[in-house]
Amino acid sequence: MILRTTLTSPFGRKALMAAHHLGLIDRLEIVHSDPREPEDDLRKDNPLGKMPALVLPDGRRIFDSCVILEYFDHLVGGGKIIPADFDARIAALTLQALSDGIMDAALLVVYEGRYRPDALRHEPWLDYQRGKITRGLDALEKTMPDPAVVSVGTIATASMFGYLDWRKQVDWRARNPALEHWLDAFSTACPAFAATRAE
């Protein structure tokens, strides 16, 4: 299987972390992609030009990270990172949606600084995105998941924290110290978190 991503994509890290955790990493060829490059094969494998994209041996293309994680869970028999129990499944998927939403907002903050000229930068838009991040973090702090359970939700949450640490859209460690303790505990329970850290 070919996984198109970068080491710094938080959504790509979700896929890599799941692959490590499930013992699938040796079945993947990791191909660096550049979503800004019109000729990159990423756009052929995902018409949206977003990472990650998974190319199966039979030529099928799977995207985005949520679908890739579901596919990986299926490959190993199911019920490993997507719980079989309905209530646990809904909780894990909702946590994934929250963490993915925080990552989306964090990416938009980065893109505003990277692609928009200073004179056109719109602070109310940045405040709006940072508000999503901080509200999401506050919600997580009120209902922290068990850090010993590795699921699509906790994988997404750890990937989100890794991205916030790297790009520093908000100082989450100072704002939400209980979440820092959660990440420490999760990284102990899931060595794939450290294995997927971009150097």
Contact 9, 53 (CB under 8 A): no
For residue 106, is pLDDT > 80?
A: yes
For residue 54, is pLDDT > 80?
A: yes
For residues 94-115, give the mean pLDDT.
93
Helix residue spans in 83-168 (DSSP H)? 86-115, 123-142, 152-167
Q: Which domain holds residue 105?
A: 86-195
CATH label of the domain that carries residue 26: 3.40.30.10
Residue 81, domain member (yes or no): no
The total number of structural domains in the chain stands at 2
Q: Are residues 33 and 63 in the same domain?
A: yes
Residue 80, domain member (yes or no): no
**Tens digits of per-residue pLDDT, 138-195?**
999 999 999 999 999 999 999 999 999 999 999 999 999 999 999 999 999 999 999 9
For residues 76-92, give the mean pLDDT.
98
pLDDT interval class at 119 (50, 70, 90): confident
pLDDT interval class at 129 (50, 70, 90): very high
Residues 6 or more apart whose Cβ sits within 8 Å of residue 158: 17, 183, 186, 187, 190, 193
Q: Are residues 102 and 173 in the same domain?
A: yes
CATH label of the domain that carries residue 154: 1.20.1050.10
pLDDT value of position 118: 82
Strand-pairing partners, residue 3, are 30, 54
SS3 5: strand
Residue 60, domain member (yes or no): yes
**What's this model's pTM, rounded to 2 decimal places?**
0.95
End residue of a domain, out of 47, 75, 103: 75
For residues 130-141, give the mean pLDDT.
97
